[in-house]
Amino acid sequence: MSENGNGRKLDDPETVKWILRVFYVICAVLFVMDFIIHRHVSHEMESIPGFYAIYGFVGCVVLVVVARWMRVLLMRDEDYYEDKPKNKDINQDYNQNYNQDALKDRNEPDPVKEAHHVDR
Amino acid sequence: MWTADLPPFVLFYAGVLFALIPSHRLRAFAMLLVPVFGAINLLSMSADASLHMTLVGFELTLLRIDDLSLLFGYAFHIAAFIAILYAFHIRDRVQQVAGLIYAGSALGAVFSGDLLTLFVFWELLAFSSVFLIWARGTERAFVAGLRYLIIQVSSGLILLLGIVFYWRAEGTLSFDFIGTDSTYGWIILLALGIKCAFPILHNWLTDAYPEATPTGAVFLSAFTTKTAVYLLARSYPGTEQLIYIGALMTCFPIFFAVIENDLRRVLAYSMINQIGFMVCGIGIGTALAVNGAVAHAFNDIVFKGLLFMAMGAVLQMTGKINGSELGGLYKSMPKTTVLCIVGAASISAFPLFSGFVSKSMIMVAVLEEGYDWIWLALLFASAGVFHHAGIKIPYFAFFAHDSGIRTTEPPSNMLAAMSIAALICIVIGVNPTLLYDLLPYEVGYTPYDATHVLAQTQLLFYSALAFVWLNLMRLYPPELPSVNLDVEWLYRKLIPGAGRALESSVSQLTAPARHLQWNVNVPAKLAQLGKTPPSGQMVTWVMILLGAGLVISFW
């Protein structure tokens, strides 16, 4: 989070520091507002001071922690679904067996090698 | 001139003729006029306009006007105008025609008063929209488009099955409230559920939309799912199951969105999340909840379109869309950055932006009806959507670490389209009565009171604080080039894999008999069929499943 914010000088860490300071102050003010503004609540949980602030913060941390854990389980290579080589192999297997005799006669290049060549 | 109350789809279908215009600019301009004329037609339509016709003994209603269909009609015209303007520079006639037919079919479905007409437009939605994916021209897009088409057409076939049952039971094809008291109610709900991206049935959306062209994705984001939302609002309000389905839809995609690298796929996941709010509101079924749901659909069409446009602009200008390859683009695309942030603020429901005035209605309605846990789930999802769509999208594309990419702003027509969408987001956010006046029920709801504004602002700022803190602690998952497994694994990996295993075991069995000509030929032919196993296998399996389903249901 070293370059968040807006404007052209965002690469300057000093600017970022200031943006974050302002942001922290706003967060603090919002929390204090809970004690100043009387909220008409429709649910008892809402009357807990700072309920929305705490819920938002904790919710997002839980979200990210769970998502990180999901990565362990669910993350695969970018080309996970592009299983071309495998399919080619099966086809080649058939083609090879099927065409071998014919190829021997005609002296054509080996389809396996050719397919690999095309693939790469 | 506009004396006849034309069904809105007619104008869009007629607009296809403009494709014959040879000049690129003139053709694009003519296309842009289609939604304008459509809007004039819609606005000048008499309140009791309707169009019936009889076809082989069936009474068909091609035009049904009421507050609900009108609201979606307006939204679709706005979306079509914005999307066509965004695609103004495109010269590809296929995309232009597909876009018009797609938008027209969505309008046809929304204004149809009987199920048979609905079915026809339902399938046309699928067939026209797939060209927006195929137009990308890559093999990935082609195969993803095939999967998309199979699933969409299956949804249509299921709908048709439901319609047959409906017709047998009711003796009519005209429909309004359907509900789940009957078998056909469930079957039709399943068909809508596929288009609506219910959990488990959702994967076509996150699979296909990110593969579409930059402009095509903008069209796609507006019509298919919102047509389904419209039908849910018309035929299934107050169906309790929808509350839980909707809540699930708001929650599960946000986890995927956090770890997804393709930023348009992040948007696709957040789309499911937003539809979840609508589905939940429709499930609650009170006047306030349904109002909130359809208002949110209206707003979502605009702000989700805006976000897809911003990411489309990034993709078009840089050729990249993965978070891991982007960053620092605010330096060369400042206008796009600002417009994207407006969309992000709207989807996150910041006060003064459009998402706030509609989502809060659903939240209040959920709480009023005493669904405490659902309310907590939606609140969590609200924080989560800010986290991934509100912060992640702009942050990783335009800020974060500087990727070194230097480009320019997108063409001015793209900027104009984004600006219009951003303007609508802000105008509705600041002056919600503009939207509230269009809603199907009377609204006695004011979003702007101290309670709502403070609560929502706290929620969002502390979600942002969590983002800052997680980043400082280096706990935030970095953008990585990767694929995350989802339900699609079943039909992209497991079933094709099983099919291949079967195939090779068959070939092993027949191996000793290879010298017999017919025995050698069969596996070779099989292999030919299997050249694109993911799609080929899937077609077969879907056919088998559907056929089996059909047989069983008629038993």
Contact A71 B477 (CB under 8 A): yes
Contact A98 B520 (CB under 8 A): yes
Residue A43 reports pLDDT greater than 80: no
pLDDT tier for residue A35 given thresholds of 50, 70 and 90: confident
**Using a CB-CB distance cutoff of 8 angstroms, which residues of chain B are in contact with residue A58?**
466
Residue B532 reports pLDDT greater than 70: no
**Using a CB-CB distance cutoff of 8 angstroms, which residues of chain B are in contact with residue A71?**
259, 477, 482, 484
Separation between Cα atoms, residue A116 and residue A118, nearest integer Å: 5
Separation between Cα atoms, residue B353 and residue B347, nearest integer Å: 8
Tokens of B67: 């507050």
Q: For chains A and B, count residue pairs whose Cβ atoms are closer than 8 Å.
A: 193
Residue B511 reports pLDDT greater than 70: no
pLDDT higher for B144 or A4? B144
Judge if pTM exceeds 0.80: yes
Predicted local distance difference test score (pLDDT) of residue A112 = 43
Does the interface predicted TM-score (ipTM) exceed 0.85? no
Suggest the residue from B256, B459, B506 to mutate for an interface test with chain A (most A CBs closer than 10 A).
B459
HSE-CB of A27 using CA atoms within 13 angstroms: 20
Average pLDDT over residues B136-146: 92
Q: Is the dihedral of CA B9, B10, B11, B15 positive or negative?
A: positive
Separation between Cα atoms, residue B410 and residue B313, nearest integer Å: 6
Contact B531 A33 (CB under 8 A): no
Predicted local distance difference test score (pLDDT) of residue B482 = 85
A69-94 burial, b if ≥16 CB within 10 A, otherwise e? ebbeebbeeeeebebeeebbebbbeb
The 10 Å Cβ neighbour count of residue B26 is 11
pLDDT tier for residue A34 given thresholds of 50, 70 and 90: confident
Instruction: For residue A9, give how far its alpha carbon lies from the nearest alpha carbon of chain B (Å).
Output: 10
Name the residue with tokens 């070194």.
B404
pLDDT higher for B187 or A46? B187
Average pLDDT over residues B286-309: 96
Range in B39-53, B274-288, B360-374, B429-443 the model is least confident about: B39-53
Residue B500 reports pLDDT greater than 90: no
Residue B527 reports pLDDT greater than 60: no
pLDDT tier for residue B519 given thresholds of 50, 70 and 90: very low
Predicted local distance difference test score (pLDDT) of residue A7 = 46
Instruction: For residue A120, give how far its alpha carbon lies from the nearest alpha carbon of chain B (Å).
Output: 16
Query: Highest mean pLDDT: which of A34-43, B148-157, B503-512?
Result: B148-157
Q: pLDDT digits over B102-118, tens only?
A: 999 999 999 999 999 99
pLDDT tier for residue B494 given thresholds of 50, 70 and 90: confident
> In terms of C-beta distances under 8 Å and separation of at least 24 residues, what long-range contacts does B506-513 make, across chains too?
B507/A93, B507/A94
Q: pLDDT digits over B428-456, tens only?
A: 999 999 999 999 998 788 889 888 899 99
pLDDT tier for residue B292 given thresholds of 50, 70 and 90: very high
* Residue B402: exposure state from Cβ atoms within 10 A (0-12, 13-18, ≥19): middle
Contact B399 A10 (CB under 8 A): yes
CB B270 within 8 A of CB B343: no
Residue B402 reports pLDDT greater than 70: yes
**Using a CB-CB distance cutoff of 8 angstroms, which residues of chain B are in contact with residue A15?**
none
DSSP string, B279-326: HHHHHH-SHHHHHHHHHHHHHHHHHHHHHHHHHHHHHHHHS--BGGG-
Residue A19 reports pLDDT greater than 80: yes
Instruction: For residue B539, give how far its alpha carbon lies from the nearest alpha carbon of chain A (Å).
Output: 17
Range in A29-33, B273-277, B308-312 the model is least confident about: A29-33
AA letter at B361: M
Residue B267 reports pLDDT greater than 60: yes
Tokens of B125: 């939605």
Residue B529 reports pLDDT greater than 70: no
Q: pLDDT digits over B66-93, tens only?
A: 999 999 999 999 999 999 999 999 999 9
**Using a CB-CB distance cutoff of 8 angstroms, which residues of chain A are in contact with residue B450?**
37, 39
**Using a CB-CB distance cutoff of 8 angstroms, which residues of chain B are in contact with residue A52?**
379, 454-456, 458-459, 462
Q: Compute CA A22 distance to the chain's CA centroid, rounded to the nearest angstrom.
A: 29
Contact B454 A30 (CB under 8 A): yes
pLDDT tier for residue B10 given thresholds of 50, 70 and 90: very high
Instruction: For residue A30, give how far its alpha carbon lies from the nearest alpha carbon of chain B (Å).
Output: 6
Average pLDDT over residues B134-144: 92
Residue B548 reports pLDDT greater than 90: no
Cβ-based neighbours of B532, under 8 Å, separated by 6 or more = A87, B143
CA B477 vs CA A61, B125, B260: distances in Å: 12, 37, 10
CB B438 within 8 A of CB B67: yes
* Residue B463: exposure state from Cβ atoms within 10 A (0-12, 13-18, ≥19): buried
Suggest the residue from B387, B476, B483 to mutate for an interface test with chain A (most A CBs closer than 10 A).
B483
Residue B466 reports pLDDT greater than 50: yes
Mean pLDDT over the full length of chain A: 70
Cβ-based neighbours of A9, under 8 Å, separated by 6 or more = A15
Residue B524 reports pLDDT greater than 80: no
* Residue B138: exposure state from Cβ atoms within 10 A (0-12, 13-18, ≥19): exposed
Mean pLDDT over the full length of chain B: 89
pLDDT tier for residue A99 given thresholds of 50, 70 and 90: very low
* Closest chain A CA to residue B452: A39
Contact B484 A74 (CB under 8 A): yes
Average pLDDT over residues B60-69: 91
Residue A115 reports pLDDT greater than 60: no
Predicted local distance difference test score (pLDDT) of residue B286 = 93
* Closest chain B CA to residue A101: B515
Instruction: Report the relative pairing of strands B483-484 and A75-76 from DSSP bridges.
Output: antiparallel
Predicted local distance difference test score (pLDDT) of residue A96 = 43
Predicted local distance difference test score (pLDDT) of residue A107 = 45
> For chain A, what is the largest distance between any 2 Cα atoms, rounded to a whole number of angstroms?
93
Average pLDDT over residues A50-62: 92
Contact B259 A71 (CB under 8 A): yes
Provide φ and ψ at B110, rounded to 5°.
Answer: -70, -35
Predicted local distance difference test score (pLDDT) of residue B542 = 63
pLDDT tier for residue B512 given thresholds of 50, 70 and 90: low
Predicted local distance difference test score (pLDDT) of residue B550 = 61
Q: What is the dihedral of CA A43, A48, A50, A54, to 10 degrees?
A: -80
Predicted local distance difference test score (pLDDT) of residue B540 = 64
Average pLDDT over residues B519-527: 49
Average pLDDT over residues A97-119: 42
